[in-house]
Each structure stands twice: as structure tokens, then as C-alpha cells.
A and B are shown apart, each in its own frame.
Chain A
Amino acid sequence: MRVLVVEDERKIADALKRGLETEGYEVIAVSSGEEGFFCLNSESFDLMLLDLMLPGRDGLEVLQTIRNKGFSLPVLVLTGRDTVEDRVLGLDSGADDYLVKPFAFPELLARMRLLLRRGKHETEKPLALADLELHLPTHQALRNEQLLDLTSREFELLAYLLKHQGHVVSREMLAHDVWKVRERSTPLDNVIDVNIARLRRKVDDPFPLKLIRTIRGVGFMATASDDHAATQ
């Protein structure tokens, strides 16, 4: 998978390149819209990460040009602006998704996976991890063939973690996708922490193999691997 990163902040670009390469992507990072456009014309990419605030021609212009020229690769926009107008403008100009700075790297990975999978009708993985099984239609969770007593919020949270199993899930992702809240706040963080703690009590406490892991400063991950280092 080849990814084109258009980002003028060198440190962010470097970190993205390093992180994505660790994930197994092939990354070309450029620092202006013109360079990005040139790369796109000469090589082929599977996905583009585009910063909206660029020197010279700004991201939106680049995006429109790309779409007008008929490039159909998925574009994930990174923006420092966070107003509804900006989002609408970004999506209207042909972005497939957007992330507001400062974004969480795990969320970037999750969005990228989603964009790359789009169009390919993969059979959805059954939601299961080790001896934990989730039945989505009935909202039932079983571990070691025992029915777990979960609230609907806890079930959704567990399902979300399992969907991203092996990958870190950030608090932003939980806020957006499980709680459907746009902005993060201190109360929300507390609510997430309490729900994770409760989920652990029910899912992990009675069993020797712990499945829900906290990655300090980053987020949470469902994994059966005993490896202490967080594999993403």
C-alpha cells in the first residue's frame, strides 16, 4: 500500500512517515501542494493524506485540482480548522474523510484502514477474540461460553474494541463512534474511563487471560497477545 503524505510541518510529516512505515505502508512525504500534485502524476498511490493549511496553494485548491483531473484515490484531509463550514467545504471538494488536528495516530490508522477497505467487499470478521464472542443481532456477549451481563453501552464499547482488535483505539474514536459526541471534554473522559473499568470487571476479572489493555497516553486495545509492547 502506497501512501502520499502532503504536510508542510516537517516534524509531523516525519512522525507520520515513521509511524505508517512501521505499520507496513510505503510512504512518500512532500511538503507542498505542487510537489504532491507532481508525485501523483508520476507515480501511483492508494491513498493520500492532505494537510489543508499549506504554503502556496492551499489544501482545498489542491484537492479540487486533483478531482478535476480525474484522480479517484481516497483522500483523507488533515485540518487545523474545526468548524462545520470547513468540514462541509472539505467534503464537498472531494475529501473522503477528515481529521482535526491534533489527531490521534491510532484514529488516523483506523480511518485509513476504512478508506482502503472501502469498495472491497470483505467478509466481516466475526466479532470474537480468544474465548470471547459477540453476537451483534442479539447484543449478547459470551466468554468461555458464559453469558456476560453488559449494559448496551458496554456492549457497544466492547464491540468497537473487538472490531479494531489488535489496534489501538483512541479516546477520540470512542467519543465519536460509541458516544456520538463531537467534542471531547473532561466529563466524557471520566465516563469513558468508568465504562472501560466496568467492562474489565465483567470481561477480564474472572478470567486469567486479560483482553482489554490500556495504552497509556494513547488509548485502549483489545488483544489476546501476551506481548507487553503494544502491537498496532
Chain B
Amino acid sequence: MLLLSNLRIRFTLLYGAALIVTVLIFSIGIYVFVQRMLINQINNHLHKDLATVSGYLLHDQAGLFKLASMGPVHIFRVRDGNRDLVASEQWKNSELTGLLDGGDFAAQPKSITTPSRRLYRVQSQLFPLGEKLYQVVVAHEESNYQRTLNTLALIILLAFPVSVALSLVVGYLIAGRVLSPITTITAKAQEISAENLSARLPVNNEENEFATLATVFNLTFSRLEESFERLRCFTADASHELRTPLTAIRSIGETALQQQDISPECRETIGSMLEETDRLAQTVESLLLLSRADGSALNKEPAELGNLLADVIEFLSVLAEEKKQEINFERLTSLHLSADACMLRRAFLNLVDNAIKYSPEQTTITVKLFREADGSTVVEVGDNGSGIPDAEKEKVFDRFYRLDNGRSREKGGTGLGLSITKAAVEAHGGLVTILDNPVGGALFRVVFPSPKQDS
């Protein structure tokens, strides 16, 4: 889920970033365009003014003075050498006088800021008339235009964060919507692998990527279920097939032993063969039991874990007595569960039997049933044996795995005991792990999560 929400945030950020860049380019473009347009406008004004003033200068000098006091051209000055011929009223108010007394300073339009921070755009031109050279300067106040530009910049600056924020929110919502099928698929897939492999993801009829994803997932589930089922069937079928020859060997051997006229050596031989047949039969039964646990084909009925443990301990106590061991059962809680009592009993039978087998004489084996703070129920079986090295801790649950080969075979068993324990516990929603017993030896810990999560 964390990964998915990360994906959602990344999606949103990516979307936001793309939008920011787009808006930025767009805003700058508009600003530059407007600025240029305004400057061109001023330049055109200046050009026209220049034409008007020069027209009066060349053809109607009296009109020039009238123009200075009132007229369409507001700010201008005409100089004759170093002397002002005429300057409009507004020119006089514009503080430009001192600034523009140089020579031919503004053949092209040019922006000038006065000491009182007013902005003008000015252009000048020289006109030879007879002997004299007249200089005409026209100016336009640029501040108005600048205000327009500033307003535009303000609008852009204000709208920018708002639009970015808005786009992030919208992006987040869209990403959520787009990703929601993934959340659904993930949840459903998790359910399928945890509970039963036979369920499938819902595929809507739309021809989109998610339908494809769900279909691909379903195909994988099918294959997984198929191979799982095939393995389970193989174990079950093989076990059934093995039963017939085993029955034959057993019947033949046992009926042979009935006969009076066979030698003691022969009796020994047949007996020994029957013992091995019996072991083989038990291995086959164990494999069947495992395939039943794997297939979750359980005969569930109400059971209480404490009673089951007490029963197992009572059952095995005779083995402990033989080794002068004590079994200390701390029953601190109870757990009512729906269980295949036969299978679960077998799980703990193997654990306690192992503890007895691998603990030296005159030691104490501890079995503890208690509840954790998180509500899960725990069974711990601790022995006083030589313990299990960390590297072997996972392997001991493997089928036919034997820790310290020779020794454990001598003690009998099919090599399936702990794998049965693991399969049986897991078929009941539990988990079995091996820890080191604080007093030495191994500590098998079986955890059943709290029923709330179970249901």
C-alpha cells in the first residue's frame, strides 16, 4: 500500500512539474509579447510626434509655438544649436531638460529614468534648415505602460501558485482514480494467495491496461494452482498406489509367520522385512497427511488448545518418565479454535516427542501456553538438547531433512515429523519458528494470530 501511495505522489509531482514548466513558458511568452507590443506602440507615437513637430518646424514655425502650449504632441523640445527654440509646457515639468542636453543622443527610441524615478521614452532627430541645424526631441511618459506591464506580472505571479496548487490537487485526485484498480487488484490478489488459489480477479469488459493486468494475474494464478494441485494429487495418488503393494507384502509376510514349520532364522528375516514395511507404510501415511494439510482438506471441529496440549503431554509422559525427565506445562491461557484435532494433535505430538528425544536424562522440558500483548496465542516447547544451529533452523522443517544424519535415524521416525508440524500449524493459520532456549537447547514457538485477524 505504501508503494502504491508513493506511486500516487510521484504521479502527482510529475504531473505538477510538467504543468509548472508549461505555465511558466506560457507566462513568460505573454509577458514578453505584451511588453514588445507596448514598446512598439510608444515608438509609433514617438515617430508620429516627431513627424508632427518637424512638419511645424519646417513649414509653420508659428504653429510650433501654439503646439507647445496646447496640442496633440505633449512633450517635445526643439533646439537651435545650444539654445532652446521652443519646449512644450509638459517638457518643462518633466525634469528631462538637464538630462538630454547632449548631442544626437537618441536617434533610436530610448528609455530614460528621471531622478524622481519617472520613466520616459524619448527620441530625437536633427533637421538641417538653411544654415541652422535643429534638434527635435519628443518624449512619452512610459510609466503608464509600465504599470500595465506590472499589473500583468502581478496577475501572472498570483495566478501561478494558485494554478499549480490546483493542478496538484486535481493531479492527486486523477492519480488516485487511475491507480484505484491497482489497489483493488492488489487487495484481491493478496486475498487469493492467502486464502485459496481457486479464486480469480474480477476482469471488467473494458479493453484497458488493467483488464490485461488482471487477466495476466489470473493466468499466473491458474498455473500456480494447477502445479500446486498436481503436486498434491501426485502425493495423494502415489500414496494410494503404494498402499496396494504394501498390503500385499504385509499380508504375505504375516501369513507366512503363521506357519508352524518355518525356521527361527526365516522368522527373523520375515519379521525384519515386516518392520521395514511398517516404516514405509508410516512414511506413506505421513505423506498423505501432508498432502491433506497442504490441500487444507481438514475435518474441522471445535477444540481447545490447552486440552489438546494436556492430552499430548499425558500421552507422551510415559516416554519422559523412562528418561527420568519432567514435563512442566504452564497453561496461562486458553484458545478455542476450529481445528482438525487429529492433525493439530499430531503437530504438537511431534514437537513434544522431539523435545523428549533430544533432551538428556533427568532434565525438565517446558511447554508454555500464553497470550501475547497483541492478542496472538503462543505455544512454546523448550528442550535441553544441544540446540539447533542457526543455519539449520529453517531446514529442519524440510521434508525428509535430518539434522545430524546418523543419530536421528537411529532414534527412528520417518523424517517427516517437523514438516508435518509445520504444515499442520500453517493449515490452522499459525506459524512455527525455532528460537534458542535461554536455558540451552531449542525452543519451538508456535504462534496463532488473534481470532480477529483470523476471521
The contact of B247 among A12, A84, A198, A232, by CB within 8 Å, is: A12
Asked if B189 is an interface residue, CB under 8 A from chain A, the answer is no
Asked if A160 is an interface residue, CB under 8 A from chain B, the answer is no
The contact of A105 among B251, B277, B350, B353, by CB within 8 Å, is: B251
Q: Please tell me if the beta carbons of A186 and B247 are within 8 angstroms of each other in the complex.
A: no
Asked if B414 is an interface residue, CB under 8 A from chain A, the answer is yes
Give the shortest distance, in Å, between B356 (CB) and chain A (any CB): 9
Q: Please tell me if the beta carbons of B259 and A216 are within 8 angstroms of each other in the complex.
A: no
Q: Please tell me if the beta carbons of B285 and A183 are within 8 angstroms of each other in the complex.
A: yes
Binds A, one of B36-44, B78-86, B266-274, B384-392: B266-274
Give the shortest distance, in Å, between A188 (CB) and chain B (any CB): 8
Asked if B102 is an interface residue, CB under 8 A from chain A, the answer is no
Asked if B74 is an interface residue, CB under 8 A from chain A, the answer is no
Main secondary structure of the interface of B (DSSP, over half): helix
Interface flags, A46-84, vs B, CB<8A=1, else 0 = 000000000000000000000000000000000011111
Q: Please tell me if the beta carbons of B258 and A194 are within 8 angstroms of each other in the complex.
A: no
Using Cβ atoms and an 8 Å threshold, which residues of chain A touch B243? Answer: 80, 101-102
Asked if A114 is an interface residue, CB under 8 A from chain B, the answer is no
Docked complex: A5-23 residues within 8 A CB-CB of B: 9, 11-12, 14-16, 18-19, 22-23
Q: Please tell me if the beta carbons of A186 and B353 are within 8 angstroms of each other in the complex.
A: yes
Give the shortest distance, in Å, between B247 (CB) and chain A (any CB): 4
Using Cβ atoms and an 8 Å threshold, which residues of chain B touch A83? Answer: 297
Asked if A230 is an interface residue, CB under 8 A from chain B, the answer is yes
The contact of B250 among A105, A179, A189, A191, by CB within 8 Å, is: A105
Asked if A206 is an interface residue, CB under 8 A from chain B, the answer is no
Q: Please tell me if the beta carbons of B252 and A15 are within 8 angstroms of each other in the complex.
A: yes
Using Cβ atoms and an 8 Å threshold, which residues of chain B touch A179? Answer: 315
- Beyond A102-B250, A184-B282, whether A215 also contacts B258 by CB under 8 A is no
Using Cβ atoms and an 8 Å threshold, which residues of chain B touch A195? Answer: 318
The contact of B254 among A106, A153, A186, by CB within 8 Å, is: A106
- Beyond A185-B346, A229-B260, whether A102 also contacts B271 by CB under 8 A is no
Interface flags, A98-116, vs B, CB<8A=1, else 0 = 0001111110000000000
Assembly CA distance A85 to B260 (angstroms)? 41
Q: Please tell me if the beta carbons of A191 and B318 are within 8 angstroms of each other in the complex.
A: yes
Using Cβ atoms and an 8 Å threshold, which residues of chain A touch B349? Answer: 185, 187-188
Assembly CA distance A195 to B317 (angstroms)? 11
Please classify how large the interface on chain B is, using the bins under 10, 10 to 19, 20 to 34, 35 or more: 35 or more
Q: Which residue of B lies closest to A15 (CB)?
A: B251
Asked if A147 is an interface residue, CB under 8 A from chain B, the answer is no
Give the shortest distance, in Å, between B233 (CB) and chain A (any CB): 14
Q: Which residue of A lies closest to B268 (CB)?
A: A216
- Beyond A9-B247, A194-B319, A217-B272, whether A183 also contacts B257 by CB under 8 A is no
Asked if B63 is an interface residue, CB under 8 A from chain A, the answer is no
- Beyond A186-B412, A189-B412, whether A19 also contacts B258 by CB under 8 A is yes
Asked if B440 is an interface residue, CB under 8 A from chain A, the answer is no
Give the shortest distance, in Å, between B363 (CB) and chain A (any CB): 18
Q: Please tell me if the beta carbons of A15 and B271 are within 8 angstroms of each other in the complex.
A: no
Assembly CA distance A153 to B297 (angstroms)? 33
Using Cβ atoms and an 8 Å threshold, which residues of chain A touch B319? Answer: 187, 190-191, 194
Asked if B449 is an interface residue, CB under 8 A from chain A, the answer is no
Asked if A209 is an interface residue, CB under 8 A from chain B, the answer is no
- Beyond A185-B349, A217-B270, A217-B278, whether A105 also contacts B246 by CB under 8 A is no
Assembly CA distance A80 to B284 (angstroms)? 12
The contact of B322 among A12, A184, A194, A216, by CB within 8 Å, is: A194
Q: Please tell me if the beta carbons of A11 and B248 are within 8 angstroms of each other in the complex.
A: yes
Asked if B316 is an interface residue, CB under 8 A from chain A, the answer is yes
Q: Please tell me if the beta carbons of B253 and A217 are within 8 angstroms of each other in the complex.
A: yes
Asked if B275 is an interface residue, CB under 8 A from chain A, the answer is yes
Q: Which residue of B lies closest to A80 (CB)?
A: B243
Count of interface residues, chain A, beta-carbon cutoff 8 Å: 46
The contact of B246 among A102, A106, A171, A187, by CB within 8 Å, is: A102
Interface flags, A213-232, vs B, CB<8A=1, else 0 = 00111100000000011111
Asked if A118 is an interface residue, CB under 8 A from chain B, the answer is no
Assembly CA distance A195 to B281 (angstroms)? 23
Assembly CA distance A105 to B252 (angstroms)? 9
- Beyond A12-B244, A217-B271, whether A183 also contacts B342 by CB under 8 A is yes
Interface flags, B186-206, vs A, CB<8A=1, else 0 = 000000000000000000000
Asked if B240 is an interface residue, CB under 8 A from chain A, the answer is yes
Q: Please tell me if the beta carbons of B255 and A217 are within 8 angstroms of each other in the complex.
A: no
- Beyond A12-B247, A217-B271, whether A183 also contacts B252 by CB under 8 A is no
Asked if B438 is an interface residue, CB under 8 A from chain A, the answer is no
Asked if B306 is an interface residue, CB under 8 A from chain A, the answer is no
Q: Please tell me if the beta carbons of B255 and A187 are within 8 angstroms of each other in the complex.
A: no
Q: Please tell me if the beta carbons of B252 and A11 are within 8 angstroms of each other in the complex.
A: yes
Interface flags, A130-145, vs B, CB<8A=1, else 0 = 0000000000000000
Q: Please tell me if the beta carbons of B259 and A22 are within 8 angstroms of each other in the complex.
A: yes
Asked if B289 is an interface residue, CB under 8 A from chain A, the answer is yes
Docked complex: A147-162 residues within 8 A CB-CB of B: 153
Give the shortest distance, in Å, between B397 (CB) and chain A (any CB): 17
The contact of B353 among A187, A217, A218, by CB within 8 Å, is: A187
- Beyond A102-B247, A187-B353, A216-B268, whether A230 also contacts B318 by CB under 8 A is no
Q: Please tell me if the beta carbons of A194 and B318 are within 8 angstroms of each other in the complex.
A: yes
Q: Please tell me if the beta carbons of A230 and B252 are within 8 angstroms of each other in the complex.
A: no
Using Cβ atoms and an 8 Å threshold, which residues of chain A touch B282? Answer: 184-186
Q: Please tell me if the beta carbons of B240 and A80 are within 8 angstroms of each other in the complex.
A: yes
Q: Which residue of A lies closest to B312 (CB)?
A: A187
Q: Please tell me if the beta carbons of B257 and A215 are within 8 angstroms of each other in the complex.
A: yes
Assembly CA distance A102 to B252 (angstroms)? 12
Q: Please tell me if the beta carbons of A190 and B412 are within 8 angstroms of each other in the complex.
A: yes
- Beyond A187-B353, A216-B275, whether A230 also contacts B264 by CB under 8 A is no
Interface CB pairs A-B, < 8 A, 5: A82-B288, A101-B247, A105-B251, A153-B318, A187-B315
User: A: which residues have CB within 8 A of B?
Assistant: 9, 11-12, 14-16, 18-19, 22-23, 80-84, 101-106, 153, 171, 179, 182-191, 194-195, 198, 215-218, 228-232
Q: Which 7 A-B pairs have the closest CB atoms?
A: A217-B274, A216-B271, A19-B255, A217-B271, A15-B251, A105-B254, A187-B353
